Amino acid sequence: MSTTTTRFLVPPEHPALPGHFPGRPILPGVVLLDAVLQAAGLGQAHLLRAKFTAPVLPGDAVEIALSPRAGGRIGFTCTCRDVTVLSGELACSPAP
């Protein structure tokens, strides 16, 4: 299986934005991780690692790239504005 990509648009009226953070809203990381799980078609997975490297702002379009790996793992990279904003790896099976 090869790398697949999908896009996630952050609407300016997203309900998580007003309180995170007042005056300079950014998308909470948990919302971005949920978008990765949805893109992978997983209701649940074990998060092995995640590195947030830049904020995602209202109105941003995030491209989510998923790469299958050995042992039922999935690597992911999220980019927006030509910058990596999140990368990491999921395990499709339950945590040991």
Which residues are marked as active site?
A: 20
Q: Can you list the alpha helix ranges (DSSP code H) found in the chain? A: 29-40
Note whether 35 and 6 are within 8 A (CB).
no
Q: Which amino acid would we find at residue 26?
A: I
Cα separation, 75 vs 59, whole angstroms: 25
